[in-house]
Amino acid sequence: MSGKLDELMNLIRQVILGVAPINEKLKYRAIAVMIALVHLSYVAVFAFCKIEIMLQYNIGAVIYYLVMAVLVGRKEFQKTIFSTMLAEILLHSFLATIMLGFDWGFMLYTITLVPLIFYMCFTLSGTKTRLKIAVTLSMLVFVVYYVTLTASYRIDPLYIESVYSSVPRTMYYYNTVLAFVYCFIISVLFSIEVKYMRVTLENENLSLERDAKYDPLTKLYNRRSFNDYLRNAVEAAEKGEKDVSLIMLDIDDFKQVNDTYGHNQGDVVLKEVANVLRDNVREDDVVCRWGGEEMLILLDVSADVASRIAERIRRDVESLDMLCDGAHIKVTLTLGVAEYKGKLTLREFIEVVDKRLYYGKEHGKNMVVNS
């Protein structure tokens, strides 16, 4: 029991913080039960006042909302239930006001319908032209309110003589409190859902930002984002703030891997090599999939240190034994290393390390070239 309570409290905290959505079924079911309880209280009031018509009406309303609380879990009923609920509240307010007078405060509920209409229109899934529907329904509520107000001044209440004089004022206070509670609950629900949508949107934007920066296969930085890091590093190197080196590497004979084992296995090789690169650099170093099977590493070290790192990477990849669909795949790397010197542009800097990589490919592969 304690575990379920803790789980419930944790869920409530997540909903309030905006990291979890409000359960749709529970939300609509709670609204239905809440309205049913209000009508149940009216059953007692009208039984006490011996107003048979409103007594029978509210008994029927209690039954209706309890049935609705069961059916509301099915999405196909939600719009219908909302429409009938709106009509029922308007009808009840109108009838009670005509029979008992405006001083009972039943028309206050029509005012609470306006925020409820906007809330329901904007949260019920699949509702098109939400704003137009919400405005139209709100105008309908206003018309009903105005017509009822006018009629109540021109028509004498039907049951005023059978009611104690203190009852209308008591009911006005009661209905005022309930109307305020309704508005408060709707506002809280709307605020929570807006917060959840904002948190969700922020998370989606962060996800899109990450997707824009990283290669989807290897999870390394992509070429576009790498250029930004390289530009900043080169600017710092020109000011003498730090050493900057590049390692460019290429998987030897990678086309043969794809041709022999298939592109799916080639993807496995790319991911395994990417893991080796991550394991051999610091958290602040930048590793990028430059294109195809070529990768670049940006390091804040001298060429000598970068060469030692490149050699370690070469040995680790050479020792890899990748099992793919029963086949043992082994690959090697050729790596070029260059340290930023002088007034090189970004393209010229990359061309230097690219030429050293190309030299290694032409002179035996599986080696590190740093000059």
Mean pLDDT of 207-225: 87
Mean pLDDT of 299-325: 92
CB proximity list for 177: less than 8 A, separation 6 or greater: none
pLDDT for residue 156: 82
Which two tokens mark 110?
């029509």
Mean pLDDT of 207-235: 88
**For residue 127, is pLDDT > 60?**
no
Q: What is the pLDDT of residues 354-369, one digit of tens each?
A: 999 999 999 999 999 9
Q: Give me the percent of the chain exceeding a pLDDT of 70.
A: 90
Phi, psi (rounded to 5 degrees) for 31:
-65, -45
CB proximity list for 331: less than 8 A, separation 6 or greater: 251, 252, 253, 254, 257, 269, 273, 317, 320, 322
Q: Give me the percent of the chain exceeding a pLDDT of 90.
A: 47
pLDDT for residue 125: 57
Query: How would residue 164 be classed by pLDDT, with cut points 50, 70 and 90?
Result: low
Nearest to 110 by CA among 84, 152, 148, 145: 145
Which two tokens mark 213?
């920066």
Mean pLDDT of 74-100: 85
Rg (CA), the chain: 36
Residues 121/134, Cβ–Cβ less than 8 Å = yes
pLDDT for residue 26: 79
Q: What is the pLDDT of residues 316-343, one digit of tens each?
A: 999 998 877 777 889 999 999 999 987 8
Kindly give the pairing relationship between strand 368-369 and strand 286-291: unpaired
**Least confident interval from 73-87, 207-221, 265-279, 352-366:** 73-87
Which two tokens mark 114?
């306006």
Nearest to 285 by CA among 295, 294, 293, 271: 295
Domains of the chain, first to last: 2-211 (no CATH), 223-369 (3.30.70.270)
Mean pLDDT of 115-130: 76
